[in-house]
Amino acid sequence: MSENNAGLNKELSPLHVWAIAFGCIIGWGSFINPGKKFLPNSGVAGTAIAMVLGALVMVIIAFSYAYMVPKHPKAGGEFTFTRSYFGKNAAYLCGWFLVVAYLTNVPMNSTAIGLIVDGLDGEANILKFGWHYQIAGFDVYMGETLLAAAILIIFGILNIIGVKKAAIIQTILAATLAVCAFTLCFTALFSAKAKGINLEPVWGFDKAAATAAQATAANIGDYKNTNIAAAILATFAIAPWAFVGFDTIPQAAEEFKFSYKKVMGIMCIAIAFGCFVYVSNNTVAAAALENWPERVMNGDWVLLVAAEELLGTFGKALIGLGVSSAVLSGMMGFYLASSRLMYSMSKEGYLPGWFGKIDPKYQTPKNAMIFCIIVSLSGPVLGREALGWFVDMSAIGASIGYFFTSASTFIRLRREKDGTPLLVVLSVVGVLFSLTFMVLQLVPIPGLDGVHFCKESYIMLAVWVALGVVFYFMQRKKFK
């Protein structure tokens, strides 16, 4: 069988697919964002409400995915759905933005590697050597860049040499991640050091104003968020990024060796696990620290400090193991999803044929993976401040994918009459929520500061759109 006509091997079990989805949902963000984003923007209460609401919305959208996968059991997922029900141009739009949703998560995770080592090695600073420069006020060192680049290349190669090998490693990483998160949660529940009074301010605080005024734990209440809706929406708006990963399941549909009837259950379990980890890590980070707002203003890794407060050195090791598993499983899962999507788009003429070639030995889309590795190497170069920009890009890409999947489901249900009235309603609700996410991300709304994109994210979005236009005019005559 030639490499152009070869198909993908059916190697993935339900456990493998759950591990891919859960590992993609929980990356660096659930461990690092409590201090960087969640606690100051939304507090404990706002983050919990936003994540639970986000999980419920994802379950609603998951019904559309579960309905569509058996109808179109090929790599490509949302791109394939959109092509069938909206045509070629809409399919290209959906596919191009899904690529950015998945692919940005790989360099995003890589930029967290330096932060992990920096947090765990204390004052040793073992990676801060060699040439360095600044991006957005943060130093990027050669040592951090080289380590992250090496890990990106190694995990990219693992995806090339066989999906089953990659899936086994992914399952081990996802299981380790789950054990670490549950251990930390139950430790906090039974520890006298974790106190409810520490959760204040429960809706977060104005970090910029408090930092400028050199606020302390004693007067942080003067800067607490009073706009509860804004506090919740600040985190709810990035729910598509927070839960992006359950939708990677359709990208691997061509490699399932089990019934498609299990897809919905796998998605819901992955979403539930993800929601638990986000809420638990954020709550533990605040509950264990009397002065968490000061820690946030100082730029400390608050979850790491909280774990050390609860469990000493073991707590520090637990976070190190958990976040490392999260970062590596995120890389592995999004490498798989990105390469399968690009492979599918290439086979249909939407990307150059080079992306659609299958390795004759390993039966994997090798060229697409090589491209993903090259693009991902931008993460270590841009440094950790790029994390927030990648979050925004992933969120808008995922929102567009959710919109087209829900809308495609609605069109097929109306056309084929093979679903329930409830599923029709859920598909419409999925469309409306997807549009809501896009508006919150892209449109500055008075009174909802901190919800929409930052300046750098708008620039990255413009560059991605321009690149997409170039590929479109190169390939549009070849669209199948």
**Between the CA of residue 245 and those of 70, 267, 335, what are the distances in Å?**
19, 9, 11
Asked if pLDDT for residue 4 goes beyond 50, the answer is no
pLDDT of residue 269: 92
Confirm if 396 and 438 have CB atoms less than 8 A apart: yes
User: Which tokens go with 5?
Assistant: 């006509």
Asked if pLDDT for residue 162 goes beyond 80, the answer is no
Scored b (16 or more CB within 10 A) or e, 301-322 reads: bbbbbbbbbbbeeebbebbbeb
pLDDT of residue 167: 77
Within-domain flag for 9: no
User: Whole domain around residue 70: which residue ranges?
Assistant: 14-478
Asked if pLDDT for residue 77 goes beyond 80, the answer is no
- The pairing of beta strand 132-135 with beta strand 138-141: antiparallel
**Cα–Cα distance for residue pair 229/238, rounded to 1 Å:** 15
Domain CATH code at residue 325: 1.20.1740.10
Q: Please state, for a pLDDT cut of 70, what percent of the chain lies above it.
A: 92
Q: Taking the C-alpha atoms of 205, 206, 212 and 217 in order, what is their torsion angle to the nearest 10 degrees?
A: -10
| E strand spans, 116-241 | 132-135, 138-141
Q: Please state, for a pLDDT cut of 90, what percent of the chain lies above it.
A: 25
pLDDT of residue 176: 93
pLDDT of residue 43: 92
When pLDDT is averaged across residues 383-389 and rounded to a whole number, the result is 66
Within-domain flag for 7: no
pLDDT tens per residue, range 277-305: 999 999 999 999 888 889 889 888 899 99
Q: What is the pTM of this model?
A: 0.84
When pLDDT is averaged across residues 148-173 and rounded to a whole number, the result is 84
When pLDDT is averaged across residues 162-182 and rounded to a whole number, the result is 84
pLDDT tens per residue, range 251-279: 776 777 777 788 889 889 999 999 999 99
When pLDDT is averaged across residues 447-456 and rounded to a whole number, the result is 67
Asked if pLDDT for residue 449 goes beyond 70, the answer is no
Nearest CA to 263 among 275, 273, 251?
251
Within-domain flag for 355: yes
Asked if pLDDT for residue 101 goes beyond 80, the answer is yes
pLDDT of residue 1: 38
Confirm if 241 and 395 have CB atoms less than 8 A apart: yes
**Cα–Cα distance for residue pair 116/380, rounded to 1 Å:** 13
pLDDT tens per residue, range 224-256: 888 898 899 888 888 887 887 787 777 776 777
Asked if pLDDT for residue 2 goes beyond 60, the answer is no
Within-domain flag for 4: no
User: Which tokens go with 123?
Assistant: 């004052």
Domain count, the chain: 1
Nearest CA to 46 among 204, 172, 158?
204
**Cα–Cα distance for residue pair 456/100, rounded to 1 Å:** 15
Within-domain flag for 29: yes
Asked if pLDDT for residue 355 goes beyond 80, the answer is yes
Neighbours of 138 (CB within 10 A): 15
Asked if pLDDT for residue 451 goes beyond 70, the answer is no
pLDDT tens per residue, range 300-340: 889 999 999 999 989 988 998 998 898 888 888 888 888 88
DSSP string, 280-343: HHHHHHHHT-TTHHHHHHHT--HHHHHHHHHHTHHHHHHHHHHHHHHHHHHHHHHHHHHHHHHH
Confidence of residue 7 (pLDDT cuts 50, 70, 90): low
pLDDT of residue 78: 84
Confidence of residue 5 (pLDDT cuts 50, 70, 90): very low
- Give the residue with greater pLDDT, 252 vs 372: 372
pLDDT of residue 16: 85
**Cα–Cα distance for residue pair 406/400, rounded to 1 Å:** 10
Within-domain flag for 2: no
**Cα–Cα distance for residue pair 379/376, rounded to 1 Å:** 6
Within-domain flag for 125: yes
User: Which tokens go with 320?
Assistant: 């190190």
pLDDT tens per residue, range 105-158: 888 778 778 778 877 777 777 888 887 787 766 778 888 889 889 999 988 888
Within-domain flag for 258: yes
- Give the residue with greater pLDDT, 213 vs 136: 213
Sole residue written with tokens 């290349």 = 153
